[in-house]
Structure 1
Amino acid sequence: MRRHPVLQMFVIGAVASVVITALALVIDWFPPAASTAADDIDTLYDVVILCSIPIFVLVMTIAIYSVVKFRARPGHEGDGAPLHGNTALEVLWVSIPFVIVAALAAYGLVVLADIEAKKPDAVPIEVTAQQFTWTFRYPQAGGAMSTELVLPRGRQAELRIRTRDVIHSFWVPAMRMKQDAVPGLTTHLRITATRPGSYALVCAELCGVGHTTMRQQVRVVEPERFQAWLRTLRRGHAVAARNSVTSQLLGEKPRSAAPNG
C-alpha cells in the first residue's frame, strides 16, 4: 500500500525534529552560569529551541520533499494542474506561529522585567568604555577607580555604562548579560553574581582595530571580601588625592595610586 505524501512528510519531520531538538538541548551553548539572570535566560533559550526547531524542520521537510518528489521529469514541459489555495489551512498556518511568537514575547518580557528589577541595596558602579579598555569607578569607595570589575556574591550591582568615544558593548558571557555603551547616553545593567571566581569581560561591538584586545576580568568575591576590597581601594584613592594636592603645591607632576586587587 502506497503511503500518502503528507504522512511521509509528517513522519520524516517528526523524527528529524526530535533528533535535532535533543541535540540542541544536550549541547552546552553557554559557559557555567554565574548570575541569577543566567538560569532564567538559559531556560528561555531552551523554550525558544523547543518551539522553533520543530517549525523550522517541518518547513524544510515540506520544501525538500516537494522539490525532490514533485520535480519536473526529463522531457516534461507542461504546467501542473491549476490549484486553489486552502483558506482554512492558510489561516491555521498563520495563526499557530502568531500564537507561538506572542507567547514567547510575553515570556521574554517577564524574564526581562525580573532581570531589570532594581533592589534597594544595589551596589552602584560606574563603567567607562574607551578604545580599547574598561575602567570602573566605585562611589562607595569615595569615587576610586579600578581597571578590574569586582562584584559581591549575592548582592545586586547596578552598572552605569558610558563611553568616551565610539559604541562598545559590555558583555560577560558567564552572566549572560550584555549592554551597549552609546556615545552621549548612560545605559544601565543590573547583575547579581552567584559564583565566586573570575570571568571574562569582553567588548561585543566592533569598535576599532584593537577590538579583540578589549578583554578584562570580572572578579566575584564574598560580601565580606568585597567590603574589605572597597576599603583598600578607598585608602589608595585618598593617598592618590593627597599626592596630587602635594604635587600641585610643589609644582610637581601628580602621582596616582589606586589598587586593582
Structure 2
Amino acid sequence: MRRGSVAALVVIGLIAGGIAAAVALLIPWLPPDASRQAGRTDFEFWFVVTICIVIFAIVSAVMIYSVWRFRAAPDDTSDGPPIHGHTGLEIAWTVIPTILVTAIGITSAIVLSRNGAVASNVMRINVTAQQFAWTFNYPEANNLSSSTLMLPKNREVELYMQSKDVIHSFFVPQFRLTQDIVPGITTKLV
C-alpha cells in the first residue's frame, strides 16, 4: 500500500471519527433526570462508557495496524515464527484491566452508598404489584390509593414494595433506578 493511500485512510478515519463523536455528543442519550440519584448514576454510566470507548479504540487501532503491517505476501503459505510469551506484555494485560475494574468498582460503590442515604422528611408510599396492575397507596394522604404514581416536588420518597403474585420489575427511566419485587418480601427503594 502506498503512503498516499495510508494517509487518505487516516484522514477518512479521522473525519468519520469526528462525525461520530459530534453525533454522540449532540444526541441526548438519557431521559431527563427526576431524582437526586440520577446525576450520580449518569456519571457512573458515562465513566464506564468512556473506558469502553478508549479500550475499543486502542484494540481496533492495534488490530487494523496488525492486519495491514503483518499481512502475508500473496504467494506465502508458510507459518509465522513461533512466539513464546512476553513477560512485560503479560503483566500489562493483567495489571491494566485490574486497575480499570477496581476503578469502576470503587466509583460504583461510592455512587451506591450515596444513593442509599435517607433524608429525615421522607414520604412513605406503599406499592403493590400484581399481574397487569400497580397500586400506589399514600398513608400520609388518608390512605389514598391510585394506579398512577404521584410524587411530591422536592421531597424524598421511600417506596415500600410488595408483590401479590409473581416477580415484578419497578423501573422509572427518569429515576435511573430499577428494583425487582419478589412475592413475600417487602423491598424498600429510596
Q: TM-score, normalised by structure 1?
A: 0.61
Percentage of matched positions with identical amino acids: 44
CA displacement, residues 229-253 of structure 1 (integer Å, 9 cap, x when unaligned)? xxxxxxxxxxxxxxxxxxxxxxxxx
Q: Which has the larger radius of gyration?
A: 1
Q: Kindly tell me: are residues 43 and 90 of structure 1, through their superposed partners in 2, closer, same or farther at Cα, counting changes over 3 Å? A: same
State the match for 1:66 in structure 2: 66
* 8 Å Cα contact 1:122/1:155 also seen in 2: yes
Deviation at 1:61, TM superposition (A): 2.8
CA displacement, residues 16-66 of structure 1 (integer Å, 9 cap, x when unaligned)? 9x7456654443111111211111111222222222211122123323443
Q: TM-score, normalised by structure 2?
A: 0.82
Gaps of 5+ in 2: none
State the match for 1:106 in structure 2: 106
Indicate the RMSD between aligned Cα atoms, in angstroms.
Answer: 2.8
Q: Kindly tell me: are residues 120 and 84 of structure 1, through their superposed partners in 2, closer, same or farther at Cα, counting changes over 3 Å? A: same
* 8 Å Cα contact 1:135/1:148 also seen in 2: yes
* 8 Å Cα contact 1:21/1:49 also seen in 2: no
Deviation at 1:171, TM superposition (A): 1.0
In 2, the alpha carbon distance for the partners of 1:25 and 1:109 equals: 27
* 8 Å Cα contact 1:124/1:157 also seen in 2: yes
CA displacement, residues 82-133 of structure 1 (integer Å, 9 cap, x when unaligned)? 1122111211122112112111111111111111111222111111111112
CA displacement, residues 69-93 of structure 1 (integer Å, 9 cap, x when unaligned)? 4344444321101112211121112
In 1, the alpha carbon distance for the partners of 2:24 and 2:163 equals: 37
In 2, the alpha carbon distance for the partners of 1:106 and 1:174 equals: 24
State the match for 2:30 in structure 1: 30
Deviation at 1:135, TM superposition (A): 0.6
AA aligned to 2:133 is T
Q: Kindly tell me: are residues 51 and 44 of structure 1, through their superposed partners in 2, closer, same or farther at Cα, counting changes over 3 Å? A: same
* 8 Å Cα contact 1:33/1:175 also seen in 2: yes
State the match for 1:135 in structure 2: 135
CA displacement, residues 169-216 of structure 1 (integer Å, 9 cap, x when unaligned)? 1111112121111222222211xxxxxxxxxxxxxxxxxxxxxxxxxx
Q: Kindly tell me: are residues 65 and 182 of structure 1, through their superposed partners in 2, closer, same or farther at Cα, counting changes over 3 Å? A: farther
In 2, the alpha carbon distance for the partners of 1:184 and 1:73 equals: 68
1:213-224 alignment runs, 5 A limit: none
State the match for 1:52 in structure 2: 52
For the residue of structure 2 that corresponds to 1:185, the secondary structure is: coil
In 2, the alpha carbon distance for the partners of 1:103 and 1:90 equals: 20
For the residue of structure 2 that corresponds to 1:149, the secondary structure is: coil
AA aligned to 2:131 is Q
In 2, the alpha carbon distance for the partners of 1:100 and 1:24 equals: 23
Q: Kindly tell me: are residues 187 and 135 of structure 1, through their superposed partners in 2, closer, same or farther at Cα, counting changes over 3 Å? A: same
1:185-196 alignment runs, 5 A limit: 185-190=185-190
In 2, the alpha carbon distance for the partners of 1:106 and 1:181 equals: 27
Q: Kindly tell me: are residues 168 and 67 of structure 1, through their superposed partners in 2, closer, same or farther at Cα, counting changes over 3 Å? A: farther
State the match for 2:122 in structure 1: 122
* 8 Å Cα contact 1:158/1:188 also seen in 2: yes
